[in-house]
Amino acid sequence: MEKVLMKGNEAMAEAALRSGCRFYSGYPITPQTEILEYLSWRLDEVGGTFVQAESELSGINMLLGASAAGARVLTSSSGPGFSLKQEGISYLVAADLPAVIIDVMRIGTGLGDIMQGQGDYLQLTKGGGHGDYHTIVLAPNSVQENSDMMDLAFDLAEKYRHPVLIASDAAIGQIAEAVELKEFREHDRDKYEWSIKGCKKGDEQRKIQNTYYTMPSYPEYLKAKYAGMESNEQRWESYRVEDAEVIAVAYGISSRVSKEAVDIAREKGLKAGLIRPVTLWPFPVKAFAGLKSVKAFISVEVNILGQMADDVRLATQCKYPVGSYGTFYDIPDPDVLVEKIEAFYEKEREK
Amino acid sequence: MNLKVPESITFAKTGFCPGCGHGIAIRLIAEVMEEMALTEKLLAVVDVACSSLAIDMWRFDTVMAAHGRPIPTAVGVKHIRPENPVMAYFGDGAAYNIGMAETVHAALRNDNICVFVVNNSVFGMTGGQMAATTLPWQKTVTSPYGKDPKKYGTLDITKVIGQMDIAYLARGELSGAAGIEQSKKMIKKAFEKQLANEGFCLVELLSECPTNLGMAPVDMMKHVHTAMAGYFKPGEFIDKGGSGR
């Protein structure tokens, strides 16, 4: 299929309906609003439903109802709006309902601001809402991946009957790049036995509620579900890591500049590499196995605290120093990252 | 005596208190569904509070929504299965306290669903705390000296959405044969309007809660008919085809 030029947010919206999604309910918030605007006319064209909800809370609960009725469903938000969706995400998990929820990350705590950020890492990967759960989190780093990952997200949501989150950011959402869109796929709302459709004589009544109400072995079921995700769904990209001594770990927009930094460092004779988590949860622990030359890692993120660094430490069983290059809202600078890699070698020489 | 009960009633062990109005409301809905041949089609959404217990009392396919969110949840269901009748069945705390924005905006969109609000004037599931519907000077566990109308008003939903462009707004009482019969007619009319694609229908059902109001069941029924129906007037407030559907 030929390539078209699209904004990252619009590519996600178009890809969602090509994945068979026919229901979207959302609320405006920068920098994700293009998704809402695009689907307000585009879903109508393909016979789907678009609802501009009165709040993120209402939107996520409309989504829950549509999912319970058997549809492929999508909503999106950012920062403060994404926090309001946490109630519904927790309920989706509890009721074993598939859904795809996009967080086009902006910066900061509280209101924050509208520029790109990666400060929702902990919220996205460690649960986020109340209770005892994880969600699969996919992190695209290009407009093409924004499109490709929607397909994957809906398939994973269906496979595990679980919400799947997309961790995009303002930069990836707002840039325009060439993208090859996928073919249309159909979704049959009657595909699942479990979805509500009307209880015929002889049918078992369908109850969409906390799964554990009717499942005595729920703890084992939930643990097995997450163990399955951890063994089957880790995704990552490794770049020049074979002989690397200093490996940057970065996702989304940060991974693009980190890749550039690796190339610059290599030209200077420094053995740098990059591991790019494509799934933030499950964290790609497998990517860190069998690295023979590595001496240190540096986590590169658009946040103040370096939220991902702890996961790198855990993935490497705390055997290596893990540095952090966190900006506040600037996209990390490849030259600064190279300086940090150079500083590591400087220290090594001093030893 | 030959007791004839709709097939959708399960007779599972009930979690409702003796004398609670929910049993009457559930029975009425089940009867209406049987009379309209909709028993196998109805899709129900309940709240997490007392109305959640209904999920085991009836055989309708049912979603238990988050507290205060049965309306948006039902809206989502209806968009995916427009040919099925869809109802949100829940209490006044969910509908008029935590879920008020959702109630008003569903009316504003004239969403084609039936909403049944069982109004017992308190938060029942959590032990009888003050609600928006608690009557002036009514004593509850969070208004031990009586609800002071200077601090907390009492919400009459017909004054909030009574001028909106919706299909149906009515209030019945689950007390006395006449009141119960009238409530059933309102429930039926709401479903007829949904089938005719007329839009948003809200029926409030004034209900007993003897446990939390500390009354014997018979006194409680009298209280619904006198004090509650005295303040919240029963009747039909909007009865028209909504526009724009």
Please report the DSSP string for A70-131 in residue order: T--EEEEE-HHHHHHTHHHHHHHHHTT--EEEEEEEEE-STT-EEEE--TTHHHHHS--SSS
Of all residues in chain A, the percent with pLDDT exceeding 90 is 96
Provide the shortest C-alpha distance from residue B182 to chain A (in Å). Answer: 27
Provide the shortest C-alpha distance from residue B120 to chain A (in Å). Answer: 24
| pLDDT surpassing 80 at residue B241 | no
Provide ipTM, 2 decimals.
Answer: 0.96
> For residue A350, what pLDDT is reported?
84
3-state secondary structure of A154: helix
Query: Between B55, B62, B79, which is nearest A49 by CB?
Result: B79
Average pLDDT, chain A: 97
Last residue of a domain, which of A216, A232, A248? A232
| pLDDT surpassing 90 at residue A127 | yes
Mean pLDDT across A112-140: 96
What's the token pair of residue A277? 């988590």
A248 and A223 in a common domain:
no
Query: Between B7, B40, B66, which is nearest A87 by CB?
Result: B66
The CATH code of the domain that includes A307 is 3.40.50.920
State the DSSP H helix or E strand holding residue A315, giving kind and residue range, or none if neither: helix A309-315
A183 and A325 in a common domain:
no
A162 and A269 in a common domain:
no
User: Minimal CA–CA distance to B82: which of B119, B118, B123, B41?
Assistant: B41
Q: Which residues of A touch B78 (CB under 8 A)?
A: 65
Mean pLDDT across A42-51: 97
Q: Which residue of B has its CA nearest to A49?
A: B79
Comparison of pLDDT for A264 and B1, the residue scoring more: A264
What does B105-129 look like in DSSP terms, one character per residue? HHHHHT-S-EEEEEE-SEETTTTSE
Q: Which residues of A touch B52 (CB under 8 A)?
A: 209
Q: Using CA of residue A23, residue A29, residue A30, residue A34, what is the dihedral sign?
A: positive
What does A183-196 look like in DSSP terms, one character per residue? PP----TT--SSS-
A177 and A222 in a common domain:
yes
| pLDDT surpassing 60 at residue B242 | no
Judge whether A25 is closer than 8 Å to chain B, CB to CB. Answer: yes
| pLDDT surpassing 60 at residue B244 | no
Q: Which domain holds residue A143?
A: 3-232
Angle CA B217–B223–B225, to nearest 5: 110
A175 and A291 in a common domain:
no
A182 and A195 in a common domain:
yes
The CATH code of the domain that includes A223 is 3.40.50.970
Give the A window 35-64 contacts with B, CB below 8 Å: 49, 51, 53-55, 57-59, 61-64
> For residue A170, what pLDDT is reported?
95
Say yes or no for a CB contact (<8 Å) between B62 and A206: yes
| pLDDT tens string A302-337 | 999 999 999 999 999 999 999 999 998 899 999 999
Q: Which residues of B touch A57 (CB under 8 A)?
A: 69, 72, 102
A296 and A247 in a common domain:
yes
A308 and A253 in a common domain:
yes
| pLDDT surpassing 70 at residue B1 | no
Contact A71, A189 (CB under 8 A): yes
Say yes or no for a CB contact (<8 Å) between B81 and A91: no
The count of structural domains within chain A is: 2
A137 and A28 in a common domain:
yes
| pLDDT surpassing 90 at residue B138 | yes
Could you give phi then psi for residue A107, rounded to 5 degrees? -90, 155
What's the token pair of residue B59? 């055989």
The C-alpha atoms of residue A70 and residue B127 are separated, in whole angstroms, by 36
Last residue of a domain, which of A232, A264, A294? A232
A255 and A210 in a common domain:
no
| pLDDT tens string A13-37 | 999 999 999 999 999 999 999 999 9
State the best of A44, A54, A87, A196 to mutate against chain B, taking most chain B CBs within 10 Å. A196
**DSSP category for residue B220:** H
State the DSSP H helix or E strand holding residue B235, giving kind and residue range, or none if neither: strand B235-239
A117 and A94 in a common domain:
yes
The model's confidence at residue B3, banded by pLDDT at 50, 70 and 90, is confident
| pLDDT surpassing 60 at residue A175 | yes
Angle CA A65–A71–A73, to nearest 5: 75
The neighbouring-strand residues paired with B140 are B143
Query: Between B8, B39, B73, which is nearest A64 by CB?
Result: B73
A208 and A188 in a common domain:
yes
| pLDDT surpassing 80 at residue A227 | yes
| pLDDT tens string A62-82 | 999 999 999 999 999 999 999
> For residue B243, what pLDDT is reported?
52
Last residue of a domain, which of A200, A232, A264? A232
User: Minimal CA–CA distance to A321: which of A290, A344, A292, A302?
Assistant: A344
